[in-house]
Amino acid sequence: MNTLYVILTSVLVASACGVVGCFLVLRKMAMIGDAISHSVLPGIVIAFLISGSRDSVAMMLGAAALGLLTVFLIQMFQQSGVQSDASIGVVFTALFAVGIMLVSLYTRNIDLDLDCVLYGEIAYVPWNTIELLGVDIGPKAVWLVGLALVLNVAVIGLFYKQFKVCSFDPGLAAAVGIPVALFHYLLMGLVSVTTVASFESVGAILVVGMLVVPPLAAYLITEVLSRMIVYSVLIGSASAVAGYYLAKWLDASIAASMITVAGAFLLLAILFSPTHGVVPRILRQKHRLQQANSEI
């Protein structure tokens, strides 16, 4: 059951991240997940100081609130003329630094460090369970990430056309009356919820990797958004399963092994993608050269 829970959690994380990650890749905001996963630290510390417990719902709410604040600040910097990558870097480092200061000032003698709140270990998922009416209903991470996945699928499915138009052509979306800013913050809210629901249990490396690598591999394979989302979920899930057994074989980090396998899938997509792949492009160039020589 421990193996099942670890694999199930990682597949849920891959699926939840893969759905929203496709839109981040299309919007050239792939590193927003990394920014959120680190900048929520002040919210976690403040919520802990108020509630006095690491296991309280207040910590999740505090992290989610800082995640949304991160998105708002990044958008504000971008609207002020700062480049997208610079906006993410400034907000990410500033809020993370504030969080580190709060940890060092107020939680020196408490088990609340960066390893606790940011770099969770997925191998410990089966032991962190929750009870409902005195009945153990399974690992906390499975329920949190599962709810995040359901939320992502429901919102993206309900407003799929709007998200699609806003991602490919925001100007057209505004012209036809779609509230672009609303759907931007709605998408960033989904990313924030997904990140916060995942990173404490499974680790920031797995969350950030699954937000970026499988969607990018899917982007190279197809030019149809619906297929891209499906391929992203499949690649992420396959990476999670294969990565677990790779980690077991090598006795290595589970999360790192999963992202390593995802990176291997990405490399295959870079090499053999029908449209963008290096190998097909070389073959097409050789074919055109042969045609030109034959005509001469």
> What is the average per-residue pLDDT within 152-169?
93
For residues 168 and 64, the model is more confident at 168
Q: Residue 64: which pLDDT band, with cuts at 50, 70 and 90?
A: confident
Q: In what helix (H) or strand (E) does residue 135 lie, and over which residues does it extend?
A: strand 135-139
Q: Residue 59: which pLDDT band, with cuts at 50, 70 and 90?
A: low
242: which DSSP letter? H
Listed residue (266, 222, 197) closest to 30, CA to CA: 266
Tokens of 69: 């604040």
Is residue 197's pLDDT more than 60?
A: yes
Judge contact between 214 and 265, C-beta under 8 A.
Answer: yes
Calculate the average pLDDT of the chain. 83
Q: Which pLDDT belongs to residue 156? A: 95
| CA distances for 262 relative to 11, 99, 214, 233, angstroms | 12, 30, 6, 11
Q: Which pLDDT belongs to residue 138? A: 83
> What is the average per-residue pLDDT within 107-113?
57
Non-local (6+) Cβ contacts of 69 within 8 A are 39, 43, 95
Rounded CA-CA distance 128/131 in Å is 10
Is residue 262's pLDDT more than 90?
A: yes
Judge contact between 13 and 240, C-beta under 8 A.
Answer: yes
Tokens of 134: 């005195």
For residues 13 and 80, the model is more confident at 13
DSSP for 163-231 reads HHHHHH-HHHHHHTT--HHHHHHHHHHHHHHHHHHHHHHH-HHHHHHHHHHHHHHHHHH-S-HHHHHHH
Q: What are phi and psi of 138, to 5 degrees?
A: 110, 180
Q: Residue 93: which pLDDT band, with cuts at 50, 70 and 90?
A: confident
Rounded CA-CA distance 89/165 in Å is 27
Q: Which pLDDT belongs to residue 23? A: 93
> What is the average per-residue pLDDT within 127-137?
79
Q: Which pLDDT belongs to residue 194? A: 85
For residues 12 and 92, the model is more confident at 12
Tokens of 23: 């839109």
DSSP for 91-126 reads HHHHHHHHHHHHHHHH-TTSS-SHHHHTS--GGGGG
Q: What tens digit of pLDDT does each residue of 229-248 get? A: 999 999 999 999 999 999 99
Q: Which pLDDT belongs to residue 108? A: 61
State the amino acid at position 260 in one-letter form: T
What SS3 state is found at 148? helix
Rg from Cα positions in the chain: 21
Q: Which pLDDT belongs to residue 110? A: 56
Q: Which of 58-67, 135-144, 164-173, 235-244 has the highest mean pLDDT?
A: 235-244
